């Protein structure tokens, strides 16, 4: 909303909040007025926490996950299997897999997917570092946990081709119907794959 008799401090605050993805001008104004209604210390904590976060967070030098120190908590943990590496696109995928609570290996965060249309080539991702890790850390298995999209498939194929020469075991996430899904509402490609890759029923 343009403000003919403008209050600069308010305009600037709205402008900054409007930079955030998905926050339009009206929402930014609502957020600014919310901050105004809060105690001064709360807003100071809000701003300083975010500044501090941006300034002090790093990427793990081994797996490129977010970290407060040079090595992330996963890579630093003595309880994680360092010979199994789960390759993901984004740090949000690390969180999603950690939330399952069943993965005990380590990660490698690519920082995106190969996407020629968006101008992202393999050299902009951490793929060459991953290939180095295979030899240096004597890895035994790469789990390609990439999205089931054309970009995810391209990236997985590219990595698998490069990694294959080292003789490492390469696996990928199982594709099939989701737990709780109705067959009726499952798309035909997923259902077809699920049928072709059927597994033995555990009796």
114: number of Cβ within 10 Å? 24
Q: What angle do CA 177, 179, 184 make, to 5 degrees?
A: 50
Nearer to a second copy, 65 or 194 (CB): 65
Closest approach, Cβ 87 to a second copy, in A, equals: 18
| DSSP per-residue letters across 48-67 | HHHHHHHHH-EE-TTT--EE
- What is the closest distance, in whole angstroms, from the C-beta atom of residue 182 to a second copy in the complex? 25
**Cα–Cα dist 72/59, whole Å:** 8
Integer Cα distance of 92 and 97 in angstroms: 9
Closer to a second copy by Cβ: residue 23 or 168:
23
- Rank residues 48 and 138 by Cβ distance to a second copy and give the closer one: 48
Residue closer to a second copy (CB basis): 72 or 142: 72
Residue with the two structure tokens 């975010």: 50
Please report how close the Cβ of residue 26 comes to a second copy at its closest, in angstroms.
Answer: 9
Interface residues with a second copy (CB under 8 A) are 1-10, 12-13, 15-17, 19-22, 27, 29-36, 38, 40, 42-57, 66-68, 72-74, 77, 91-92, 95-96, 98-99, 101
């Amino acid at each position: 909303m343009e403000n003919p008799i403008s209050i600069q401090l308010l305009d600037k605050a709205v402008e900054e909040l409007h930079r955030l993805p998905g926050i339009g001008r009206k929402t930014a104004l609502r957020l600014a007025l919310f901050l105004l209604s809060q105690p001064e210390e709360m807003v100071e904590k809000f701003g300083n926490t975010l500044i501090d976060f941006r300034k002090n967070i790093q990427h793990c030098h081994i797996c490129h996950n977010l970290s407060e120190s040079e090595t992330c908590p996963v890579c630093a943990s003595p309880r994680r299997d360092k010979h199994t590496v789960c390759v993901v696109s984004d740090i949000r995928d690390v969180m999603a897999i950690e939330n399952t609570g069943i993965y005990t290996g380590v990660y490698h965060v690519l920082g995106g997917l190969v996407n020629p249309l968006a101008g992202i080539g393999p050299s902009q991702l951490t793929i060459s570092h991953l290939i180095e890790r295979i030899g240096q850390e004597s890895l035994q298995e790469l789990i390609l946990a990439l999205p089931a999209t054309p970009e995810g498939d391209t990236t997985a194929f590219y990595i698998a081709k490069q990694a294959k020469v080292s003789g490492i075991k390469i696996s990928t996430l199982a594709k099939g119907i989701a737990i709780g899904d109705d067959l009726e509402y499952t798309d035909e490609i997923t259902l077809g794959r699920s049928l072709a890759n059927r597994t033995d029923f555990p009796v």
